[in-house]
Amino acid sequence: MLLRIIIFAPLIGAAILGLFGKRMSERLIAAIACSSIGVSTIAAFAAFAQLLGQPADTAGVRRISDTLFTWINVGAFRADFAFMLDPLSGVMVLFVTGVGLLIHIFATAYMSGEESYYRFFTYLNLFMFMMLVLILGDNFLMMFVGWEGVGLCSYLLIGYYFLKDYAGDAAKKAFVVNRIGDFGFALGVMLVFYHFSTVSFIDKPGIASIFTLAANKPIEALSTTALYAGGLTTVAILLFIGAAGKSAQIPLYVWLPDAMAGPTPVSALIHAATMVTAGVYMVVRSNVLFSKAPMALTIVAIVGALTAFFAATIGISQWNIKKVLAYSTVSQLGYMFLACGAGAFSPALFHVVTHAFFKALLFLGSGSVIHAMHHDEDMRNMGGLSKYLKITFFTMGAGTLAIAGFPLFSGFFSKDEILWKVRSSTVLPGSLGTILWLLGMLTAAITAIYMTRMMVITFFGEERFRNKKPDEHGHGHDDNAKGHDSHAHGHSATPHESPLAMTLPLIILAILSVVGGLVGIPEGLAEKFLPHSLHNLTHSFYAFLAPVVTIPVIPGNGGEAIAEDHNAEIVSTILSSIVALVAIGIGYTVFKGKPLLQMPSFLENKYYIDEIYDAVIVNPLKFISTYGLWKFIDVIVIDGTVNGLAKLINLIGISLRQLQPGIIRLYAAFIFGGAIFVIGWFFLTVIKR
């Protein structure tokens, strides 16, 4: 029953607001939207507590199941409309509902004054419903329903200001790019069914789950041939294509930075804490399949590492505060996939959790800054805000230290665990683990630099907002559509702190960003620095996930995927801590003196990737569609054939009509001529005989 409440409470809220919200006051709309998510959050924590008290099954897994009805039942195949709470989905549902509730509360004040206030919260509640279906579905088809649902809701929320071209274009871009990934995901699910004749995640009477069946499959060869052989490697790659679309990995990452066209709470909810992590969740959920496909793991790790580095180098050159965070999100998602590719599925999910805390905090904090700056998102127009926005400054500072990997903050534990697992992984062939570890270290340094840059340019130095000219730099897209005239407010006006509904979520998320990593202290650090009695408590996250997460074992590669060398792990942690501290110092020193330091143009223009895509893919497709499919195939061939036949029939009719003009003498002539022809034919035939 609790699972139904978790899932359907947001749907009920969305239905009420969608049907009746237009006639409601803002206060009532906010109450319904937040209370529906609040009910879902309370039910999620209650269900999680119930899960902890559940006896484990024969495989050692605690699980709560709830089947509403049988959805598809054809022959031996059955797919239920059912939900499942296990350690993996339990972790996800806690932070999705909890962080989602905080973002809803923030949005009630941030979106105040919107003409379509009810529509925003309708979409937001509907998104929460779809995300929870994705997480709690007990089979791939249920996951796919939620997967497509969050894609639709993302389209609606990104394009919330649909009268603005930039918002409509960003929404369409997100929708189209995600469809590319979704096509791969759909093919992967079909291939799963082909191999196992089921799509269920759990064993049911008479039906073994995908993962039970896959566990008995042999590990496939580490070769490129395996990619297209139609086996589990092919399945894993197709599923990863879907994840690359949803979680913005190379080459399908281009939609996420443009998605900042949506309101800031949308960026915080969808593009930091929930939707973009769906791909990581799906890969972790499918860990048994990926563990049988070392070639797929290698590709996942390489793509993740390259994405992390690539996006970080772009983030260091952006001036729009939300764009900095957008590329930071792409980079951090790359870290998560790097961990998955190294076989470290649990650390990947741990980084999903800590990332939800500090990235939601940073996005909401940027919203507080934008609110104070009268909806101007350009950091070149800010500066010196720390004395006006004290709560926002300190909370965003906590989020910045967390993402930079500052010692003992949440991101420190999850990021360093990923880097260590990559360095010590025996899943990755040869010295690839070491190479990717070095790339991850470099990315961590760049991350600390560009996040420090964002804080310094925004909160320190000269108050540049007082000197801004009306036409200088321009404003960000986020809330110009609200109709607020920032010039009318005047940039010389003193910025002020946001209301309690906006600052309270910042404070809570800041606390979580500081202490949230303590549940997953790496075993090496706990072994050396903590009393033995605290080991289980500090390492509880990984122990909790252990029954549902497989550690890949590749024959000939040294046994377990993760070598346990605690001394080397401590050295790696110390090294990454030094890198983070030095990078923060570099960022502060450089940008404190030159806050408007210009970066190379190719970085500021994002390596011209959008322009390349336009030239190589988009424009040729438009040309083919316009001049090939439309003007030639549709207009000339299809319309020409249909219209040509109509004209031909019309001409024949006109010609035949001339034979019936209504002139009696002409009819008599025809009859006479016909008679002459028949008689002549008759005589010719007789003469021949």
pLDDT at residue 475 in the model: 44
pLDDT for 103 beyond 70: yes
Q: Strand pairing of 553-554 and 64-74?
A: unpaired
Confidence check: pLDDT of 484 > 80: no
| Torsion sign over Cα 537, 542, 544, 546 | negative
- How far is it, in rounded angstroms, from Cα 633 to Cα 641? 10
Asked which of 344-348, 418-422, 655-659 is least confident by mean pLDDT, the reply is 655-659
The CA distance from 496 to 368, in Å, is 10
Checking if the pLDDT of 488 tops 80, the result is no
pLDDT at 270: 82
- 553 bridge partner residues: 560
Q: Give the three-class secondary structure for 560.
A: strand
Does residue 126 have a pLDDT over 90?
A: yes
| 416/420 Cα distance (integer angstroms) | 6
Beta-bridged to residue 139, according to DSSP, are: 200
DSSP-assigned letter for residue 605: T
- Tokens 């791909």, located at residue: 279
Give kind and range of the element (H or E) at residue 554. strand 553-554
Whole-angstrom Cα distance, residue 671 to residue 258?
Answer: 80
Instruction: State the DSSP code for 562.
Output: B
CA distance 618 to 460: 42
For residues 382 and 457, is the Cβ–Cβ distance under 8 A?
Answer: yes
Q: Which two tokens stand for residue 250?
A: 């190379």
Is residue 556 very low, low, confident or very high in pLDDT (cuts 50, 70, 90)? Answer: low
Q: Tokens standing for 575?
A: 């090294």
**Average pLDDT, stretch 262-286?**
89
Instruction: Tell me the pLDDT band of 524, cut-offs 50, 70 and 90.
Output: confident
**Confidence (pLDDT) at 120:** 94
- Note the pLDDT tens digit of each residue in 650-683: 999 888 887 777 788 888 888 888 899 888 888 8
- Tell me the DSSP string of 64-78: EEEEEEEEEEETTEE
Per the listing, tokens 């046994």 go with: 559
Q: Check if the beta carbon of residue 330 is closer than 8 Å to that of residue 256.
A: yes
Mean pLDDT of 418-438: 91
Report the alpha-carbon distance of residue 169 to residue 255 in Å, rounded. 10
Band (pLDDT 50/70/90 cuts) for residue 687 is confident
Q: Round the average pLDDT of the chain to a whole number and report it.
A: 89
The 3-state DSSP class for residue 159 equals coil
Which H/E stretch holds residue 559?
A: strand 559-560
Of residues 489, 269, 472, the one with CA closest to residue 371:
489
Predicted local distance difference test score (pLDDT) of residue 561? 43
Phi, psi (rounded to 5 degrees) for 138: -95, 10
**429 Cβ contact list (under 8 Å, min separation 6):** 222, 294, 298, 557
Give percent above pLDDT 90 in the chain: 67
Q: Pick the most confident of 74-88, 293-307, 539-553.
A: 293-307
User: Letter for the amino acid at 85?
Assistant: L
450-476, pLDDT tens digit by residue? Answer: 999 999 999 998 888 877 665 444 444
CA distance 54 to 642: 68
260-276: average pLDDT: 85
| Cβ proximity of 368 and 392 under 8 Å | yes
Q: Two tokens at 170?
A: 């960003």
Mean pLDDT of all residues in 363-390: 91
pLDDT band at 490 (very low <50, low <70, confident <90, very high): very low
* pLDDT score, position 52: 92
The whole-angstrom separation of Cα 419 and Cα 434 is: 10
- Tell me which residue of 616, 374, 588, 411 sits closest to 498, measured CA to CA: 374
The confidence band for 375, taking pLDDT boundaries of 50, 70 and 90, is confident
Percentages (nearest 5) of helix, strand, coil residues in the chain: 75, 5, 20
Enter the DSSP assignment of 547: G
In sequence order, what DSSP letters do the residues of 118-147 get, joined into one string?
Answer: HHHHHHHHHHHHHHHHHHHBSBHHHHHHHH
CA angle 345, 348, 350 (to 5 degrees): 110
Strands (E) located in 75-196: 77-85
Q: Assess whether pLDDT exceeds 80 at residue 439.
A: yes
CB environment 123-132: b (16+ within 10 A), e (fewer): bbbbbbbbbb
Closest CA to 272 of 152, 339, 353, 348: 353
Q: Is the peptide bond before 595 cis (omega within 30 degrees of 0)?
A: no
> Strands 553-554 and 77-85: what pairing?
unpaired
Q: What is the DSSP string of 90-107?
A: HHHHHHHHHHHHHHHHHH
Residues 88 and 62: their CA atoms lie apart, in Å, by 10
> At 376, phi and psi to the nearest 5?
-100, 125
The whole-angstrom separation of Cα 47 and Cα 54 is 10
Strand partners, 65: 84
pLDDT at residue number 286 = 94
Model confidence at 538, pLDDT cuts 50, 70, 90, reads low
Phi and psi dihedrals of 83, rounded to 5? -125, 160
3-state secondary structure of 85: strand
The per-residue pLDDT for 518 is 87
pLDDT given at position 487: 34
Calculate mean pLDDT across residues 286-302: 94
Cα→Cα distances 526→53, 344, 581, Å:
26, 18, 22
Residues in contact with 253: Cβ distance below 8 Å, sequence separation at least 6, in sequence order: 244, 307, 311, 330
Instruction: Give Cβ neighbours of residue 125 (< 8 Å, ≥ 6 apart).
Output: 10, 11, 13, 14, 17, 33, 36, 37
Question: Which pLDDT score is estimated for 469?
Answer: 60
